[in-house]
Each structure stands twice: as structure tokens, then as C-alpha cells.
Amino acid sequence: MFMSYLNNKYDIIVVGAGHAGCEAAIACAKLGAKVLLATLNIDNIALMPCNPAIGGPAKSTLVREIDALGGVMGEAADATYIQMKMLNSSKGPAVRALRAQSDKKQYMSYMRNIIENNENIYLRQACITDLKVENGRIVGAVDEFGIEYSAQAVVLTTGTSLNGRCFVGLRSYSAGRMGEKAAYGLSESLIKHGINIKKLKTGTPPRVDKRTIDYSKMTIQNGDETLHFYSYKPNRPVRPQYPCYLTRTNERTHEIIRANLDKSPMFQGLIQGVGPRYCPSIEDKVVRFAENPSHHIFIEPEGLGTYEVYIQGFSSSLPADVQLKMLRTLPGLENAHVIKPAYAVEYDYVPAVQTTHSLMSKNIQGLFFGGQINGTSGYEEAAAQGLVAGINAFNYINNSEMLELSRSSSYIGTLIDDLVTKDIQDPYRMLTSRSEYRLLLRQDNADVRLTPTGRRIGLIDDAQFKVFTDKQKAVELEIERIKDAKISATEEINGILAQYGEHLDRGIRISEFLKRPNVDYEVIKKIDEATRKLNIPFDVSEQVEILTKYDGYLKRQAQQVEQAGKLDKFKIPDDIDYSKIEHISSETRDKLAKIRPKTLAQASRIGGVKPADISILMVMLERHAF
């Protein structure tokens, strides 16, 4: 039995037990490390402090990728959903996105149960205030009581707690989130060790008592009848689904907001941190989009065991009394009782240009960062980084090769590459538009792209890997079958096809027919008895349909990946002195020296680095002129 915990000796310390911290700790523990998971409040493990939901555009791909690598967010979301909905289902596969409305308390309980049932994880309610560093390497941490913990690696996943300050109107107080204390001391420790700290801001809407809402004045938003899931594990649970609702702001709402901007800490300059560009407060929306007469507001249940509901799209930092006036102008919320007011939180973060693609600090060996501390926004982005940081913390202490995912392999790779090569100025949110390879990096094929990697790492067990290989064999067999199988041009078949605006003048192979825009596997089943009898699982038919229908586009994007890969072959020496390179601007030299890209491909993605600069570097690399 592991007894070193008696002397506060661990392999890895994870600081923070939000979505990033949970993934980091669980991954390290599953791989065999002894982990201290330190958190400000063990009752808030895996808390959803903002909207009680997982997924959405681009984010659902991250969740599927987490699962394919052996993480747990997808499994937890599947086990605790109260609504599942596929967004953009009528559009192409690159932008389809699964979204799970979660039972907030059940999600937290499920994740905590995983943690507490892993004998390699040791929970500790403590505020880590200092890092122990010797000769440029992490050797442990110290908490608020002066207790020292030894470890070979530390993963910081502090979320919004680091020197956090909450604002409701012009009043503010020290807190990482409403009702939870801020983490103090650690920022100063990081600065002491040469790490740069900046500030960001985020916010959350009010919560309202559902018994005071008139849902008859709102538009109902139901879940899907046909269920989809995040996890690639079989036998996902089928649970009852509950509706969300839609209402809208109006001119009266906007009048109240405009009349009270002098009470907004953002507009009065009390908050210095930059807020999330893609999730602005309602007052920010009204000012920035003054031409819009109204904005969508979604009413979302927080869970089955509470009457607390989340007012999605109504984030604010205005005073509580003003918030109430604003809320009561919304159809259905005229008599709303507010349980918790909206608030903004400003917090410290560590710009990720100071880390490598492994998410390890360039300053301190063995120190890793994951989640909002890196300047991101969102549970899914945090969990993805936490998983990678945890894996690499384990790899570091075992002198193993670091996991560094490429942009062409995953959204996780794109996310991390953007963070470490670009000087992000506002909380980063994953969007489909951020990936130049989004047709290849879809949510439906995350297992194809990453499960072999998860298996190699040691996070995918035999049972899950067999599910993966069996599915791949089924896809291959079906692709081969439909290349030869034909649909006849009979009167009966054309009668069915007429419903879909299709007609056959002659027999056609299924693989060719499936390429038509109006044809999917459901149509094929209706007109082909052999396909019906095979009873092909949805996840198999979905893959076959996408690979067949978009074959030309997929091949073209694969060629783009190959072309871009040529720049990856140009490795940049670690000891290169950029100050001595002529014919590139001093600004470019400074950026290259700050980020220190490993390849020309990474250098080309640094903001402000021009194609001409890359050409000069390429010539010098070819000539070894360094």
C-alpha cells in the first residue's frame, strides 16, 4: 500500500478540482501515479458554475476527443443528461454538434464518485499558496497553513479562483465564484518564479425560481427523439428528457440597461480584465449591437432535484435590483423571483505562450497548466487541456515522450496550438472556424483519430478498444459491400424515391446513389431489403455515409494536411539566437524569441509573423545558417 502520503509525498499534485483538474487527476491516477488533488472546496468538485450543459458547436468535438483519448467528461455527461439535442443536424457533418443539458448535482456526484473510487487519488481541501522549485524544477507545493507537499510534477487548474474578485454592480468582493473564496498567494509565487500574470473577466447570469415563471409565454425547446451520446462506450443510459424554453429581450429591457450603464463595473472601468468575445454580457450586447431590437434568452433547468433555473444569454454585472427590473420585462418572467443574482468575476491567468505544446512551463520543469488559467473559456476547453496536462505530467515523471497533438489530428491540438503560439487577448473559446481541417476533425470520427493514441498512452482498456476495432471492421465491410450492391430502377422503388425528390432511370450502385444530397441511409433502407436485414448500427452507417458522400472533399483536405506537413519537417533548433537573424523585423524576432516555435509550421501561425519571414527562416534552415 502507498504510505508516502503520511509524509505528504506524492507523484503529482493537481491544484483545482474543476473540469480540468478532474481530468488531470483521473488520467494520472489511471496511469498509476499517486495524486494529491487539492481544491478550495471538496463539495464543489466538477462544479458547473455557469450554464449546466456540456457540448455545443465545436465543444462537442472536444468532448468526443476527450472520450476517445480515455478521459471522463463524455461518460459523465451521458450519465447525467436531462436533455440531448443534436444542433445543426440539417447541415454538413463538420458543424453538427451534440449538446447535453445536464443535471448539475448529478454530474458533480458522478465525477466525485470516480475520483473517490480511485485509490491513487488523495483529496485535500486546501488553498495552495506557493510552489517549491529547486534548480528550475518543481519539487512540491505549500498550502495556506504552511503544510508542504512533495511531488515531481504539479498541474495548476485554478479556473477563475486565482486572485478572483466578484462584481455585482459597483460593489465587489474577493471570490473565485459567488459563494466560494478566491485562491490567494499562488499568483505571487508564480511571479516570483518568473512567470507573467495577466487578468481576464467572465460572468454568469442570474438563477430564477421556476415556480415563478410563466412558461406558456415562451417557446418550448425539446430534446431529440433519436438519442446520440458523447462516449464511445456501449450501453449508454436512456433517460427521460426535460424541455428548455426560449424567450426574448425587448425595447423595455434595453432601455433599463442603457439607463443604468453608469452602474456597470465594466463600463466604469472597475474591471480591467478582458471579457469573452463570444459570450458577452447582456449590457455589452445591447451596446455593441444597438441595431438589434431583441436577443434570444434560453431558460434552462439546473437539474431534477431543484427549482433553480439558468437564464442563458442574460449574463450581467449590473446591480441586483437593476437585474430584477430587466428580468421582469421578459415574456414569462414578469413575476420572477431571483435566487442568485448575475455577477462578473475578474481573475489572474497565465498567458499560455509561456508553455510548450505539452502544456508544461518553459520556465519551470514539471509545472503544467490546464484550463482557464491558460486563458480559455468553457468546461470542454478546460477538460481537454486538463487531460493533456495530466497525461504529460505522468509522462514527465516517467521520462516518457510528451503527448503533443497536431492541428490536423484534433480540435484539442488546434486549441493548444492556438494558445501557445498566439498572444490571446480575451478568453479563448473553441469554434469550428478556428480549425482549417474541420471537415476531417468531426465529432463523429474522434474515435478514429484518437483512440489508438489513447490506447498507446494506456487510458483505453481492452473492452473499449475492442468496441473501437469492431466498429472499424464493420465500417470497412459496409463500404466494400455498397461498392458492388445495386439499387434497381423499378416502379415501386421510384414511387418511394419520389417522396425525396429522387428518380432512377437505371440501376445504380449504392455507393454512387448515397452521394446524392437527398439520400441518406434511411432512404437506402427503405428501398434495399439487404440493407434492412443487416440492421447496421447508427454509428457505423453514419461513418459510411459521411465517408462516401464527402469522399472528394475529404481527399482534398487530406492533401492540404500533407502540404502543411511539409513545414512541420523543418525543425528549428532549441538554441537558435533570433537576435542574430537578419532580414526579418525586430518585432518578428521578438515574437519568435518569446514563443520559440519548434517547427516552421508553428512559426507560421504566430500572429504578426509574415510569409516572407518564414521563407527567410526556411532558407537558413536548409543552409544550416545558424
Q: Note whether 46 and 195 are same-domain residues.
A: yes
Tell me the one-letter amino acid at 381.
Answer: E
What pLDDT sits at residue 324?
Answer: 97
Percentage with pLDDT > 70 across the chain: 99
Q: Note whether 433 and 479 are same-domain residues.
A: no
DSSP-H helix ranges across 81-148: 104-116
Angle subtended by helix axes 462-484 and 446-457, to nearest 10: 150
CB atoms within 10 A of CB 198: 14
Give the integer Cα–Cα distance in Å for 441 and 406.
Answer: 11
CA 397 to chain centre: 26
The average pLDDT across 579-595 equals 80
In this predicted structure, the answer to whether residue 463 has a pLDDT above a threshold of 80 is yes
Grid cell, residue 238, equals: 436512456
In sequence order, what are the residues at sequence separation of 6 or more whose Cβ sits closer than 8 angstroms to the Cβ of residue 435?
Answer: 58, 407, 411, 414, 441
Looking at 99-113, 164-178, 238-252, 383-397, which range is the least confident one?
164-178
Q: Which of 22, 53, 49, 51 is nearest to 37 (CA)?
A: 22
Looking at the DSSP assignment, which residues form a beta bridge with residue 599?
571
Asked which of 346, 362, 378 is the last residue of a domain, the reply is: 346
pLDDT digits (tens, 9 = 90+) for 188-226: 999 999 999 999 999 999 999 999 999 999 999 999 999
Residue 563, in any domain of the structure: no
Q: Note whether 195 and 226 are same-domain residues.
A: no
| CATH code at position 303 | 2.40.30.260
Q: Note whether 494 and 365 are same-domain residues.
A: no
Q: Which of 308, 326, 307 is nearest to 316 (CA)?
A: 326
Domain span at 298: 207-346
Residue 553, in any domain of the structure: no
The answer to whether the beta carbons of residues 23 and 383 sit under 8 Å apart is yes
Q: Which of 11, 10, 18 is nearest to 382 (CA)?
A: 18
Q: Note whether 307 and 341 are same-domain residues.
A: yes
What pLDDT sits at residue 616?
Answer: 80
Residue 555, in any domain of the structure: no
The answer to whether the beta carbons of residues 65 and 454 sit under 8 Å apart is no
Residue 522 CB-density burial (10 A; 0-12 exposed, 13-18 middle, 19+ buried) = exposed
Q: Note whether 169 and 79 are same-domain residues.
A: yes
CB atoms within 10 A of CB 611: 8
What pLDDT sits at residue 568?
Answer: 78
Residue 561, in any domain of the structure: no
What pLDDT sits at residue 626?
Answer: 54
Residue 564, in any domain of the structure: no
Asked which of 410, 436, 457 is the last residue of a domain, the reply is: 457
Q: Note whether 363 and 292 are same-domain residues.
A: no
In this predicted structure, the answer to whether residue 612 has a pLDDT above a threshold of 80 is no
| CATH code at position 535 | 1.10.10.1800
Q: Which of 405, 437, 421, 443 is nearest to 556 (CA)?
A: 437
pLDDT digits (tens, 9 = 90+) for 435-445: 989 999 999 99
Q: Which of 602, 27, 60 is nearest to 353 (CA)?
A: 602
What pLDDT sits at residue 624?
Answer: 64
Give every strand in the sheet of 97-102, ordered side by side: 53-55, 97-102, 81-87
Integer CA distances (angstroms), 463 to 53, 366, 469, 536, in order: 28, 32, 10, 21
Coil, strand or helix at 552: helix
Residue 556, in any domain of the structure: no
In this predicted structure, the answer to whether residue 20 has a pLDDT above a threshold of 80 is yes
The answer to whether the beta carbons of residues 227 and 89 sit under 8 Å apart is no
Residue 605, in any domain of the structure: yes
DSSP-H helix ranges across 328-437: 379-397, 411-421
Tell me the one-letter amino acid at 115.
Answer: I
Q: Note whether 13 and 162 are same-domain residues.
A: yes
Give the integer Cα–Cα distance in Å for 130 and 153.
Answer: 14
Q: Which of 185, 152, 584 is nearest to 394 (CA)?
A: 152
pLDDT digits (tens, 9 = 90+) for 126-151: 999 999 999 999 999 999 999 999 99
At residue 573 the predicted structure's pLDDT band, cuts being 50, 70 and 90, is confident
Q: Which of 588, 569, 564, 572 is nearest to 625 (CA)?
A: 572
Q: Which of 59, 61, 57, 88 is nearest to 441 (CA)?
A: 61
In this predicted structure, the answer to whether residue 623 has a pLDDT above a threshold of 80 is no
What pLDDT sits at residue 267?
Answer: 81
Give every strand in the sheet of 343-349, ordered side by side: 171-174, 165-168, 343-349, 198-204
The count of structural domains within the chain is 4
Give the integer Cα–Cα distance in Å for 89 and 169.
Answer: 40
At residue 43 the predicted structure's pLDDT band, cuts being 50, 70 and 90, is very high
Give the integer Cα–Cα distance in Å for 243 and 101.
Answer: 9
Residue 552, in any domain of the structure: no
The answer to whether the beta carbons of residues 23 and 386 sit under 8 Å apart is yes
The average pLDDT across 159-180 equals 91
Q: Note whether 169 and 287 are same-domain residues.
A: no
In this predicted structure, the answer to whether residue 1 has a pLDDT above a threshold of 60 is no
Number of helical H runs and strand E runs in the chain: 21, 23
- Long-range CB pairs of 549-555 (<8 Å, 24+ gap) are 549/514, 549/515, 550/92, 550/93, 550/439, 551/515, 553/439, 554/439, 554/440
pLDDT digits (tens, 9 = 90+) for 227-272: 999 999 998 999 999 999 999 999 999 999 999 999 988 888 888 7
The DSSP code sequence of 256-288 is HHHHTGGG-TTTTT---SBPPTTS--HHHHHHH
In sequence order, what are the residues at sequence separation of 6 or more whose Cβ sits closer than 8 angstroms to the Cβ of residue 546?
Answer: 93, 442, 444, 445
Integer CA distances (angstroms), 71 to 26, 63, 409, 471, 473, in order: 8, 9, 17, 20, 24
Q: Note whether 334 and 371 are same-domain residues.
A: no
What pLDDT sits at residue 592?
Answer: 84
The answer to whether the beta carbons of residues 378 and 431 sit under 8 Å apart is no
Integer CA distances (angstroms), 446 to 115, 321, 380, 381, 449, in order: 25, 46, 15, 16, 5
Looking at the DSSP assignment, which residues form a beta bridge with residue 29?
none
Asked which of 293, 324, 346 is the last residue of a domain, the reply is: 346
Coil, strand or helix at 558: helix
Q: Note whether 378 and 448 are same-domain residues.
A: yes
Q: Note whether 397 and 513 are same-domain residues.
A: no
Tell me the one-letter amino acid at 97.
Answer: A
Strand 153-156, strand 148-150: pairing? unpaired
